[in-house]
C-alpha cells in the first residue's frame, strides 16, 4: 500500500511501500509538481528499483527547471539502497533520526 | 604514649635525626627501607649499639624480626620474652641487665651470636591503637637508658608505628594489584581461546556462549569442525586465582591439537586426561564434556568427565532427559581404562543443552538454586527459536530468577539443535505486477511462521520483487505462473523463483550499473540486478533446457557483528 499527498507548502508526504505496482501512482502525483520539493519519507517503509526510477525521473525533470527533490526521514533500509545505487550523490538525503 | 615529660637538653643534634626520620618515613612506602630507617634513626638518637624492630603478625600472633617478607626471619610467639611482654602489655620496658631478668629470652642471642646487656623495649602502636610491633634498643654507649632516653624513644616509636603500618598496608595493596594483573592476563588467555564465530553445520543450529564472572573462573567451551565431526566442549576448571583460567585454556589447546592431528575421541580423552593429571596439583581438575557430533548420522559420541547435568530436550514429546557424567573429572587421576563413549541420537528438533554449574547453582537472594526445572521450562517454551536467541532467553531467565544477586561463577552454555526440516513454503503467482501484494504477504507469513530473523525481510522482499518483475517484463511470451519457494537455512533464508516456458537469460551475467554517472547521464531502470547482488549473499542462475525453465536462487543470512554492513558493497560509489 502506498499513500502520497501534499503536506505543508513545498512538502509531499509519502508513506507505505513504493514497489513496482505502486510506482505509476507515485509517478503521476510527482509529475504535477514544480520547484523545490521536500519528500517526507518518514512513513516510507520500502522501495524497489521501480521506485528509484520514479524518484530519478522526477529529480531530472525538476533540476531542468531549477527545482529539486530533497528526501527527509529516510530509514536505514532505504538509505542502503540509495547508497548502493549512487542516489546519495544525486539527492540531498536526510536520515530518519 | 605521648611524650608529656619535657626532655632535659634536647639538642639540635638530637632533634635533627628525629625530624629526618619523620621526613623520610613520610616519603617512603617500602617496608624494608622503612625498617632500616627506623633502626638507624633509633640508633643515632639513643646512641645505641643495636636496634631490633619486630613486626606483629596478627594472623599468627607472632612477632617477626625484621621484614616479614624475609623467609629466614626470626619468629617468636607474641607472648614470649621481654619483647612478648612489651607487646602484650603495650608498655615500655627498660631492663638494665637482661640476663638478670627472668622474662629475657636468650635464645635470640644464641641464634644471632650477639650479647644483649641492656635493653629498652617499646610497643609500636599506630593511630588506630593497633599493635604494629615492638622496637628494641640495645646496649647504649652510656651503659643504661635513663628517663630522657625513654621519652625520646617514645616520640620516635609513635612516628615509626604509623609509618610502618602504612608501609605494610601499601605492601598488601601492591601484592593485591600484582595478583589482579596476573588474573587479568590469565583471563585474556582463556577468553582468547573461545570460538569467535559459530561453525556452520548442515542441518544443525549450534551456539556457545560464555559470560565471565569477575576475574576468576575456569569455564571454557569449544565448537569446531574437524574431519572427525563437530567438536563440542564445555569445561569448568576448579580452583581460584589464575590457575583455572589457564588450565581451561590448556585443555582447549590440547583437544584442538589432538583432533587436528586426526586422533579419535577415546584416545584424545584418555591422553588429555592423563597429561593434565600429571601436570596439575592433586586438588585441581576440570569438569568437562567432550563430544564429537556426526551431523550426517545425527549422533554425538561423548565422554563427560564430571560434567553434568547433560540435558536433552526431545522435540517429539517436549520432555527433557537428564544424563549423568560418564566418568570422574578430567585430570583428577590417570585413566587406567576408558569406558566406551556414551552416545546420544538427535531426532529432528532435539536440543542438547550443556550448561556450566554456574547456571544450575545460580542462587537468588534467598539462596535458592536455579536448578534444572527452570531450564526445562525455558526450553519447552522457546525450543523453536534460534539457539543464539534461546541462549539469551536462558540467561535472562537466570538473571530474572537471581533478581540482582551477583553472578558468583562463570556462566557458559552450549546449545546443539538438530533443525526440523520444514517443508519449504511454496506458492505460484500470476505474472503481473498486481501479484506483488500477494507475494509480499507470502514472504511475510513465511517469516512469521519460521522464525527467520525479521531484519532479513526487507532485503528478501526487495530481491524477490526485482527478480519477479524481471520475469514479468522479459517473459511476456509465457502464460505460466511464477513459482516462489522459501526455505529456512541456518541463520537465514533461501529463496527460489521458477519461471516456466522461458528463453535462457543469465541474470548473473548482467553488468553492474554505473552508479557514479552525473544525474544528467543517468536513466531510470537497470538498477534491479545491481542492487539484488548487493542485498543478498549468493545468487545463482540455472536454465533447464528440456523444461524451458529458469530457476533463480538466492540466500540471505544474518551477518556476524564484524561485517554487519549488510550487503557486499563492492564497487560502491564512494570507493
Is B40:B32 a contact under the CB 8 Å cutoff?
A: no
Q: Per-residue pLDDT averaged across B332-339, rounded? A: 82
Write the DSSP string, B467-514: HHHHHHHH-TT--SPEEEEEEEETTEEEEEEEE-S-----GGGSPPP-
According to the model, what pLDDT value does residue B357 have?
72
Is B415:B391 a contact under the CB 8 Å cutoff?
A: yes
Q: Is the pLDDT of residue B20 over 70?
A: no
Residue carrying the nine cell digits 563437530 = B230
The shortest CB-CB distance from A52 to any of B436, B517, B527 is to B527
Interface probe, candidates A49, A57, A76, chain B, greatest B C-beta count within 10 A? A49
Q: What are phi and psi of A39, to 5 degrees?
A: -100, 110
The 3-state DSSP class for residue B232 equals: strand
Query: With an 8 Å Cβ cutoff, is B568 touching chain A?
Result: no
According to the model, what pLDDT value does residue B161 have?
84
Q: Per-residue pLDDT averaged across B101-110, rounded? A: 85
Which chain B residues are closer than 8 Å to A89 by Cβ? 515-516, 573
Give B275 or B464, the one with higher predicted confidence.
B464
Per-residue burial over B547-559, b if 16 or more Cβ lie within 10 Å, else e, is eebbbbbbbbbbb
Angle between helices B31-46 and B12-27 (to 10 degrees): 170
Q: Per-residue pLDDT averaged across B499-527, rounded? A: 88
Alpha carbon separation from B197 to B35, B224, B560 (Å, rounded)? 56, 10, 8
Query: With an 8 Å Cβ cutoff, is B438 touching chain A?
Result: no
Model confidence at B564, in pLDDT bands (50, 70, 90)?
Answer: very low
Q: ipTM of the assembly?
A: 0.94
Q: Is the pLDDT of residue B141 over 70?
A: yes
Q: Taking the CA atoms of B229, B234, B238 and B242 in sequence, report the sign of the dihedral they define.
A: positive
Q: Are strands B342-345 and B411-418 parallel, antiparallel or unpaired?
A: unpaired
Q: DSSP class of residue B456?
A: G
According to the model, what pLDDT value does residue B522 have?
87
Q: Is the pLDDT of residue B226 over 80?
A: yes
Q: How far apart are CA B500 and CA B478, in angstroms?
A: 7
| Best CA proximity match to B204, nearest among B403, B461, B416, B33 | B416
* β-strand partners of B498: B483, B551
According to the model, what pLDDT value does residue B467 have?
96
According to the model, what pLDDT value does residue B562 have?
36
Mean pLDDT of chain B: 84
Model confidence at B297, in pLDDT bands (50, 70, 90)?
Answer: very high
According to the model, what pLDDT value does residue B216 have?
67
Least confident of A75-79, B239-243, B322-326: B239-243
Q: DSSP class of residue B69?
A: T
Q: How far apart are CA B460 and CA B444, in angstroms?
A: 10
Q: Is the pLDDT of residue B461 over 80?
A: yes
Q: How far apart are CA B266 and CA B263, in angstroms?
A: 8
Mean pLDDT of chain A: 94
Model confidence at B569, in pLDDT bands (50, 70, 90)?
Answer: very low
Q: Per-residue pLDDT averaged across B137-163, rounded? A: 86
E strand residue ranges, B306-358:
310-314, 319-323, 342-345, 351-355
Residue carrying the nine cell digits 527545482 = A67
Alpha carbon of B572: minimum distance to chain A alpha carbons (Å)? 6
According to the model, what pLDDT value does residue B396 have?
84
Q: How far apart are CA B429 and CA B479, in angstroms?
A: 11
Number of A–B residue contacts, CB under 8 Å? 79
Q: Are strands A36-47 and A68-74 parallel, antiparallel or unpaired?
A: parallel
Q: Per-residue pLDDT averaged across B169-182, rounded? A: 81
* Helix segments in B133-146, DSSP class H: none
Q: How far apart are CA B217 and CA B410, in angstroms?
A: 6
pLDDT tens for each residue of A22-59: 999 999 999 999 999 999 999 999 999 999 999 999 99
Cβ distance A50 to B530 less than 8 Å, yes or no, reads no
Amino acid at each position: 500500500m502506498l499513500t502520497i499527498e501534499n503536506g505543508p507548502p513545498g512538502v509531499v508526504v509519502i508513506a507505505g511501500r513504493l514497489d513496482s505496482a505502486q510506482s505509476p501512482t507515485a509517478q503521476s502525483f510527482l509529475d504535477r509538481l514544480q520547484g523545490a520539493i521536500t519528500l517526507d519519507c518518514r512513513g516510507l517503509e520500502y522501495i524497489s528499483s521501480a521506485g528509484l526510477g520514479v524518484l530519478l525521473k522526477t529529480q531530472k525533470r525538476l533540476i531542468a527547471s531549477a527545482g529539486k527533490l530533497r528526501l527527509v526521514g529516510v530509514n536505514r533500509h532505504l538509505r542502503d539502497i540509495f547508497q548502493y545505487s549512487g542516489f546519495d550523490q544525486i539527492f540531498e538525503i536526510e536520515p530518519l533520526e | 604514649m605521648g611524650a608529656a615529660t619535657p626532655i632535659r637538653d634536647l639538642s639540635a643534634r638530637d632533634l635533627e635525626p628525629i625530624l629526618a626520620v619523620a621526613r623520610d618515613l613520610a616519603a617512603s612506602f617500602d617496608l624494608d627501607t622503612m625498617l632500616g630507617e627506623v633502626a638507624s634513626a633509633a640508633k643515632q638518637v639513643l646512641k645505641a649499639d643495636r636496634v631490633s624492630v619486630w613486626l606483629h603478625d596478627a594472623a599468627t600472633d607472632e612477632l617477626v624480626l625484621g621484614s616479614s617478607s624475609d623467609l629466614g626471619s626470626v619468629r617468636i610467639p607474641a607472648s614470649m620474652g621481654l619483647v612478648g611482654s612489651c607487646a602484650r602489655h603495650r608498655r615500655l620496658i627498660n631492663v638494665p641487665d637482661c640476663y638478670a631478668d627472668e622474662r629475657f629470652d636468650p635464645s635470640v642471642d644464641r641464634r644471632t651470636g650477639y650479647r644483649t646487656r641492656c635493653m629498652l623495649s617499646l610497643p609500636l602502636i599506630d593511630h588506630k591503637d593497633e599493635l604494629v610491633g615492638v622496637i628494641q634498643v640495645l646496649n647504649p654507649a652510656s651503659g643504661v637508658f635513663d628517663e630522657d632516653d625513654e621519652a625520646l624513644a617514645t616520640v620516635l616509636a609513635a612516628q615509626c608505628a604509623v609509618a610502618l603500618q602504612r608501609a605494610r598496608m601499601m605492601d598488601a595493596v601492591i601484592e593485591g594489584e600484582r595478583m589482579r594483573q596476573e588474573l587479568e592476563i590469565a583471563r585474556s588467555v582463556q577468553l582468547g581461546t573461545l570460538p569467535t564465530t559459530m561453525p556452520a553445520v548442515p542441518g544443525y543450529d549450534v551456539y556457545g556462549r560464555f559470560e565471565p564472572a569477575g576475574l576468576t573462573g575456569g569455564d571454557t567451551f569449544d565448537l569446531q569442525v574437524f574431519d572427525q565431526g563437530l567438536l563440542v566442549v564445555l569445561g569448568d576448571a576448579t580452583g581460584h586465582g589464575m590457575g583455572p583460567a589457564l588450565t581451561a585454556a590448556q585443555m582447549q589447546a590440547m583437544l584442538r591439537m589432538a583432533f587436528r592431528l586426526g586422533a579419535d575421541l577415546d584416545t584424545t580423552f584418555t591422553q588429555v586426561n592423563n597429561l593434565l593429571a600429571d601436570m596439575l596439583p592433586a586438588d585441581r581438575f576440570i569438569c568437562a564434556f567432550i563430544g564429537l557430533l556426526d551431523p550426517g548420522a545425527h549422533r554425538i559420541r561423548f565422554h563427560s568427565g564430571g560434567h553434568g547435568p547433560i540435558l536433552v530436550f526431545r522435540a517429539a514429546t517436549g520432555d527433557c532427559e537428564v544424563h549423568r557424567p560418564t566418568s570422574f573429572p578430567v585430570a583428577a587421576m590417570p585413566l587406567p581404562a576408558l569406558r566406551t563413549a556414551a552416545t546420544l541420537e538427535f531426532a529432528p528438533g532435539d536440543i542438547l543443552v550443556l550448561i556450566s554449574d554456574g547456571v544450575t547453582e545460580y542462587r537468588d537472594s534467598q539462596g535458592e538454586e536455579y536448578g534444572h526445572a527452570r531450564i526445562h521450562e525455558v526450553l519447552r517454551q522457546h525450543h523453536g527459536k534460534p539457539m543464539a536467541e534461546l541462549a539469551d532467553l536462558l540467561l535472562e531467565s537466570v538473571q530474572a530468577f537471581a533478581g540482582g544477586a551477583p553472578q558468583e561463577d562463570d556462566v557458559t552454555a552450549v546449545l546443539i539443535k538438530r533443525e526440523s526440516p520444514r517443508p519449504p513454503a511454496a506458492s505460484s503467482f500470476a505474472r503481473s505486477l498486481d501479484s506483488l501484494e500477494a507475494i509480499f504477504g507470502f514472504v511475510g507469513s513465511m517469516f512469521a511462521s519460521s522464525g527467520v530473523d525479521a531484519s532479513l525481510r526487507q532485503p528478501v522482499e526487495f530481491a524477490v520483487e526485482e527478480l519477479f518483475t524481471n520475469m514479468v517484463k522479459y517473459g511476456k511470451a509465457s502464460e505460466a505462473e511464477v513459482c516462489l519457494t522459501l526455505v529456512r537455512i541456518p541463520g537465514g533464508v533461501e529463496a527460489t523463483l521458477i519461471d516456466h516456458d522461458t528463453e535462457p537469460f543469465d541474470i548473473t551475467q548482467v553488468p553492474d550499473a554505473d552508479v557514479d554517472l552525473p544525474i544528467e547521464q543517468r536513466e531510470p531502470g537497470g538498477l534491479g540486478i545491481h542492487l539484488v547482488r548487493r542485498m543478498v549473499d549468493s545468487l545463482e542462475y540455472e536454465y533447464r533446457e528440456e523444461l524451458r525453465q529458469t530457476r533463480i536462487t538466492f540466500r540471505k543470512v544474518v551477518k556476524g557483528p564484524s561485517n554487519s554492513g549488510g550487503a557486499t558493497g563492492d564497487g560502491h560509489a564512494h570507493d
